[in-house]
Amino acid sequence: MFSVKNITMIYDIEKENKMYALGGFDLELPDKGLIGFIGPSGSGKSTLMYCLSTLKKPTAGEIIYNGKDIVNIKASERENLRREEFGFVFQRHFLVPYMSALDNVTVASKRSSKEVRLLAEKKLKLLGLSDREIEKRPSKLSGGQRQRVAIGRAMINEPKVLFADEPTAALDHENAFSVMSVLKEYSKEHLVLVITHDISILKDADHIIEMWDGMIKTGKGGDEN
């Protein structure tokens, strides 16, 4: 699905001490499966995810998605791709404070309101939220519940690729594994990219990619250089 070639991301490019967030590497990602990205802070995991998801444009290199280079496409095409084909779980949950958990999920939907409401309810219940909780605002939910709402929002459009940046960071182990099992289930038909510090939650990952100083260090499965 993704074919990454010589991807390079340099911050402070005009300054003398350039900072290489991504040091120029190739990477192939399959059409489906659960891929884990692991590495210390500043290793370039999030930058890679942002580049793959078109939120950031790499300084150099190619990102081929379904046979098309998505680095130099128009802004509207990038937006369209993010809306139609990608789903996001960010490090911070970024829920809209005035909306209920359910509305936070449906607002990202590209379907009409009636059918999406039922679908969103189903997803949130699958993620462990009760009927009462799905009507609550984020401020009335625990950190773990908020993150599950964010995951529900990411999955509402059944995206082909789901990007999850530390999706279990705010959850206890029991909840973390329950969320990961949902993501694992989702990865049977879709591609799920999970960034995490916690290798224990990646026990069911199809591939684990370790990053270090903007480069891919090792991998379990997958084709990386």
Partner 1 sequence: MTQKISAFYYIKNNKRRVLVLVVSLAMFFIASYLTMFLLSTTSETFKAILTENTQCVQYITLGGDDLEVYYSEAEEEYTKTYTELVLEKFEKIDSDIKRCEGIEEVFFAQVEYTRIDSIVGNYYIELPMVNEEQMNKLLKYMGADLLEGRLPEKENEVVLDTVLMKNQGYKLGDGLSQNENVTIVGVIDCGYYFGCGLADENKTVYTNPMICVVTDGSIKDLQMTLRKQGILLEYSVFIDIVNGEKNLKADITDVIATSTNLLSVAIIVIVAILVIIVNISYMRDRRSEWCLYASIGYGRKTIYFSILRELLFTFVIAFLSAIIVCAVLMKIMDITIITELGLRCTYFMPETLMEIVCVYVFLFALMQIPVRMEIYRIKTIDAIDDDM
Binding positions for partner 1, rule: CB under 8 A = 46, 50, 55-56, 75-76, 79-84, 86-88, 90-91, 94, 96-100, 103, 107-113, 153
Least spacing, CB of residue 47 vs partner 1, in Å: 8
Cβ closest to partner 1, residue 41 vs residue 72: 41
Cβ closest to partner 1, residue 159 vs residue 219: 159
Least spacing, CB of residue 37 vs partner 1, in Å: 15
Least spacing, CB of residue 124 vs partner 1, in Å: 17
β-pair type (223-224, 19-29): antiparallel
Task: Calculate the alpha carbon distances from 31 to 40, 42, 74, 220 in Å.
Answer: 26, 27, 24, 17
Distance CA 99, CA 67 (A): 38
Least spacing, CB of residue 201 vs partner 1, in Å: 21
Distance CA 135, CA 2 (A): 37
Cβ closest to partner 1, residue 162 vs residue 209: 162
Lookup result for tokens 């679908």: 119
Cβ closest to partner 1, residue 66 vs residue 80: 80
Least spacing, CB of residue 154 vs partner 1, in Å: 8
Task: Calculate the alpha carbon distances from 158 to 39, 66, 123, 183, 186 in Å.
Answer: 28, 17, 11, 12, 9
Contact yes or no for 210/220 (Cβ under 8 A): no
DSSP notation for 63-90: EEETTEE-SSS-HHHHHHHHHHTEEEE-
Cβ closest to partner 1, residue 38 vs residue 162: 162
